[in-house]
Amino acid sequence: MKVLKFGGTSVGSPERFEKLWPIIQSQKSDRKLVVLSAVAGTTNALVAIAAHYAQGEVAQARQMIQQLFQSYQVFVYTLFVTTEGIEKGHTLIQSHFTLLDELGNDLFTSVEERWVLAQGELLSTALFHQYLTEKRIASVLLPALDFMRISEDQEPDLPYIQQQLNDKLTQFPTATLFITQGYICRNAFGEIDNLRRGGSDYTASLIGAALKVEEIQIWTDIDGFHNNDPRCVSNTKPIAHLSFDEAAELAYFGAKILHPQSVFPAQKANIPVRLLDTLDIQAPGTLISSTFDHPDEIVAVAAKDNITAIRIHSSRMLLAYGFLRRVFEVFERYKTPIDMITTSEVAVSLTLDDCTHLQAIIAELNHFGKVEVDEDQTIVCIVGDFKRNKNGYATLVSEAVKHIPIRMISYGGSEHNISLLLPSKYKIEALRALHHRLF
């Protein structure tokens, strides 16, 4: 079995819907399970609708619901070709938008908010299943809410997912094509919830791990990871093969094609993940697996913007144990993760990308010593095979950016990553200089 996940842009229009079946049909596998995101633009609209409801702005919410409904009416009339298909499609979307409208009649809580956000994937999968039915293509619609569950700690309950999913599949022994929703799930209390980390990609990875499939495919509108940001650098090239660790580094440090945590279940189960392009189905894409065929190489450069650097200078650090623990406890109290860290005998510098509690954090850090804050910073990440017995990579990187002011350097914390912190205004210059020197 293969799992095929199609993102929002891949199902963003009736024309894109029509192109999915040839892709699915071309896969050489006895059984296929298709995971769909919401139609492009739908989730953003639903977030706005939920926000209006939460603020008591029922009229504004219902106006947006009507606008979204009208766009789906056009979608239905374009996608289906028979009178019966159009009527069924209209009945389908009407039921979902009636529900959205009725949510404004009562108290709107976080439970109702998650109901609103779930409608995008429920709509896209039901419409695609109905489209295949009109084409006389057999498929089974598997509601993700019947098998996808997270614990009280917001972590996937993989044993439950595995048991429920296998039970569902055994009910259809002759079926070869299954369709389910990405992103949505139930929580430990049975309420509708969502997976957050990478959404539909995470769903595909969890399903693949639960079923021990041969391959997970993530279909987007990009032909895999590139060795640099094509928006900033010309002549970038797609990367044919990455290890899971390298892919996670690239995803975390700016490559938007994949959420850094979404493939962890596949990595743990040792199931390869292939990134492919629905707009260019002949492109080989990027294969992510536990093995890789480019040892001793730098494979890519990525950048992460909107970084804030904090420097704490204190003479009390000198020979003082427990100092860093007390510093980290501040960030722990405010649930704020740290990206990079460098230390000396009298100072520690670190970075974060979540500034929600920045002022409160600074106020507490002032008790330890002098605090300096630099905003508008960028982390540039160089990814490759940096085992401890290799040499020369630090020199290559430093020579490439010797004309650019570097705020911090992190090397050695990972065997796959060298990170540089620099002012954001030098980001493009740094990416181009590294590209020219390294590739």
Spatial CA neighbour of 36 closest among 137, 224, 179: 179
Binding-site residues for ATP: 5-8, 220-221, 231
pLDDT given for residue 392 in this prediction: 76
pLDDT of residue 293: 64
End-to-end CA distance of the chain: 37
CATH 3.20.20.70 fits 2-221, yes or no: no
Q: How many residues does the chain have?
A: 439
Eight-state DSSP code of residue 228: S
Residue type, 310: I
Residues 311, 347: contact at Cβ < 8 Å?
A: yes
Strand partners, 347: 313
Distance between CA atoms of residues 75 and 86, nearest Å: 10
Task: Give the residue from 384, 358, 380 showing the smallest Cα distance to 371.
Answer: 358
The SS3 of residue 204 is: helix
Report d(CA 224, CA 221) in Å as an integer: 9
Rounded-to-integer distance, Cα 97 and Cα 94, Å: 5
Question: Which DSSP state fits 136?
Answer: T
**pLDDT score of 286:** 93
| Contact in structure between 302 and 292 (CB atoms under 8 Å) | no
Pairing assessment for the beta strands 192-194 and 184-186 based on DSSP bridges: antiparallel
List helix spans (H) across 80-172: 83-102, 110-134, 158-170
| Domains of the chain by residue range | 2-221, 298-438
Q: Which of 224, 269, 293, 245 is nearest to 3 (CA)?
A: 269
Domain 2-221 and domain 298-438, same fold? Reply is no
Binding residues for substrate: 43, 121
From 3.30.390.10, 3.30.2130.10, 3.30.750.80, 3.40.50.2300, which CATH number describes the 298-438 domain? 3.30.2130.10
Q: What is the pLDDT along the chain (439 residues), one digit of tens a residue?
A: 999 999 988 999 999 999 999 999 999 888 999 999 999 999 999 999 999 999 999 999 999 999 999 999 999 999 999 999 999 999 999 999 999 999 988 899 999 999 999 999 999 999 999 999 999 999 999 999 999 999 988 899 999 999 999 999 999 999 999 999 999 999 999 999 999 766 899 999 999 999 999 999 999 888 888 999 888 999 899 899 998 988 888 888 766 677 777 889 999 999 999 999 998 888 899 999 987 666 667 889 999 999 999 999 887 665 567 788 889 999 999 999 998 998 887 889 999 999 999 999 999 999 888 999 999 999 999 988 776 556 777 888 889 999 999 999 988 777 788 999 999 999 999 999 999 998 8
